[in-house]
Structure 1
Amino acid sequence: MMKNLQIVIIEDESATARNLEYILKEINPEIHMVKTLQNIAEAVDWFALNESAYDLIFSDIRLSDGLSFEIFRRVNIRKPVIFVTAYHDYAIEAFRNNGIDYILKPFDKKEVQRTLFKYDLLIASVSNNEHAETGILLQKLTNTAKKYKQSFLIHYRGRLIPVEAAKINWFRTANEMVYAHVTNGMQYIVEFTLEQLENDLDPALFFRANRQFIINKNAVDAVEYFFNGRLLVKIHPLPPEQVVVSKAKAMHFRKWLDQ
């Protein structure tokens, strides 16, 4: 592992920042914590004055004053970022904003160690003079970035049927089975849980609406305000039960639709 690695943490939850620092030091005592930044405004000011004071950034995505992607739009940061978040849904945008990896909370030592190993491999693959240039690292990352599931091979009545992921309107779980409803009107049982699908499907196209549904953006006809800040989503074809997005997910769901 790279010695004397200089790390900046962007995290508005002090306990999470301390936990990450503890894990990093446990993995490699020679890691130096340069700075912990708690919000966009503070980060923009600090990075503007400290362009070369660090090697790697660990950044949460949702901060108290917005999404951390705003930092990378306002300051020219040429160092790689590992995003640490509780949400799957920002994966695509993370890789567009200096991201070389994406780990989910609650993280553990094994996960942090894995992502540092990936960073070391990327560093080793470029020359010393270029070792932390994000542009170079991201080019190296192209072949290792996560590939989302593009199709399903479904068992149906003694046959194997290939179905494009983009042609699935929605996935629904019921009676411990998961059903995929396709644009041609067919419905199939798939051998995945919604949790597995949430991780494997492109978050730019699919959204985990609630415990029962993952929906395709192209299947959304309309959205209505529902009780207690929730949203009622009208999708086609009409599913056997209503699709309701919780108040906690409502704002993110609207942003997802607006991309």
Structure 2
Amino acid sequence: MTQNLHIIIIEDEAATARNLEYILKEINPGIEIIITLQSVAEAVDWFETNDNIYDLIFSDIRLSDGLSFEIFSRTKILKPVIFVTAYNDYAIEAFRNNGIDYVLKPFDKEEILRTLLKYNTLIASDANNELSKTKSLLYELQYATKQYKKSFLIHYCGRLIPVEAAKINWFYTANEIVYAYLADGRQYVVEFTLEQLERELNPSLFFRANRQFIINKNAVDTVEYFFNGRLLVKVHPLPLEQIIVSKAKAMDFRKWLDQ
């Protein structure tokens, strides 16, 4: 087992982070936990100012302010990542983002030991370059010809209504139900989560503004500066709640609008 291993934990559940740290140090007392980061925004800020002081990352996927994949798209992270999650539907995304393993919660000591041994095998065999090449090839095969969702078959009042994705101005979630709003004011329930929609919709047309909204670029009327570096987005039709883009996402949102 590699000694003096420096690890970053990205986890918004304090009890889970403490349990993971306890197991890691029980397996290898030489492990040092550099820091535990609890959100996408906190992690982006930390990685932008700290580089090459760690060897390995353990990261949850669903964090309080979004998916941890956003961290890896916004910052340059070259070190391997072990994703620890309660969900088993993110395997391809994990592999794209420096993932070398995928551990499902609830985990135990044996599972963490297994994944550390896998990490050690990669390091010992100097396989990182080959791993990167393999990931790159798989990414090209999986996504070079990716077909984004073009329409939805909506169940409404005993009927099936086809609706073009491009005609949906924004998606909104409340009480675990996702609604699609059209330009003419009609709204329908769709049988997807926002996380699923985020993967299925064309990212050049749709943007995940926050935990409640995915918006269509063509629906944006104005963007105003809000408190603490955030943005207030006005769309049509006007939703009951304000659409606020966080400071961490503000730059990406502006780039998306300016494409």
Report the TM range for the smaller structure's normalisation.
0.5 to 0.7
Correspondence list, 1:134-149, <5 A: 135-139=129-133
**SS across alignment from 2:41:** helix
Aligned mates of 1:246, 1:121 — CA distance in 2: 44
Give TM-score, length-normalised by structure 1: 0.56
Aligned mates of 2:13, 2:100 — CA distance in 1: 22
Aligned mates of 1:225, 1:83 — CA distance in 2: 38
Report deviation, 1:250. 2.9
**1:254 aligned to which of 187, 197, 205:** 197
**SS across alignment from 1:77:** coil
Aligned mates of 1:30, 1:117 — CA distance in 2: 15
Contact 1:123 1:137 in 2 (8 A): no
Distance 1:14 1:246, change over 3 A: farther
**SS across alignment from 1:84:** strand
**SS across alignment from 1:102:** strand
Distance 1:223 1:90, change over 3 A: farther
Distance 1:229 1:74, change over 3 A: closer
Aligned mates of 2:116, 2:80 — CA distance in 1: 12
Distance 1:221 1:41, change over 3 A: closer
Q: Which amino acid aligns with 1:252?
A: E
Give TM-score, length-normalised by structure 2: 0.56
Aligned mates of 1:116, 1:18 — CA distance in 2: 17
Report deviation, 1:222. 1.6
Q: Which amino acid aligns with 1:88?
A: N
Distance 1:229 1:141, change over 3 A: closer
Q: Which amino acid aligns with 2:132?
A: L
Q: Which residue of 1 aligns with 2:23?
A: 23
Q: Which residue of 1 aligns with 2:45?
A: 45
**1:222 aligned to which of 153, 176, 179:** 153
Contact 2:95 2:135 in 1 (8 A): no
Distance 1:142 1:76, change over 3 A: closer
Aligned mates of 2:19, 2:190 — CA distance in 1: 29
Report deviation, 1:252. 3.2
Contact 2:154 2:190 in 1 (8 A): no
Aligned mates of 1:51, 1:29 — CA distance in 2: 23
Q: Deviations over 1:146-175 (max 9, x none)?
A: xxxxxxxxxxxxxxxxxxxxxxxxxxxxxx
Contact 1:9 1:35 in 2 (8 A): yes
Correspondence list, 1:109-128, <5 A: 109-126=109-126
Contact 2:10 2:38 in 1 (8 A): yes
Contact 1:101 1:115 in 2 (8 A): yes
Distance 1:246 1:59, change over 3 A: farther
Give the share of equivalent positions with the same residue, in percent. 60
Report deviation, 1:44. 1.0
Q: Deviations over 1:112-145 (max 9, x none)?
A: 111000000000111xxxx8xx5554347799x9
Q: Which amino acid aligns with 1:65?
A: D
Q: Which residue of 1 aligns with 2:58?
A: 58
**SS across alignment from 2:73:** helix
Report deviation, 1:47. 1.0
Aligned mates of 2:9, 2:2 — CA distance in 1: 18
Distance 1:124 1:66, change over 3 A: same
Contact 1:7 1:58 in 2 (8 A): yes
Contact 2:6 2:32 in 1 (8 A): yes
Aligned mates of 1:59, 1:103 — CA distance in 2: 10
Aligned mates of 2:71, 2:47 — CA distance in 1: 9
Aligned mates of 2:75, 2:156 — CA distance in 1: 37
Structure 2 gaps of 5+ residues are: 143-147, 158-174, 179-188, 203-259
Q: Which amino acid aligns with 1:84?
A: V
Correspondence list, 1:72-87, <5 A: 72-87=72-87
Q: Which amino acid aligns with 1:20?
A: L
What is the aligned residue count? 168
Q: Which amino acid aligns with 1:28?
A: N
Distance 1:252 1:224, change over 3 A: farther
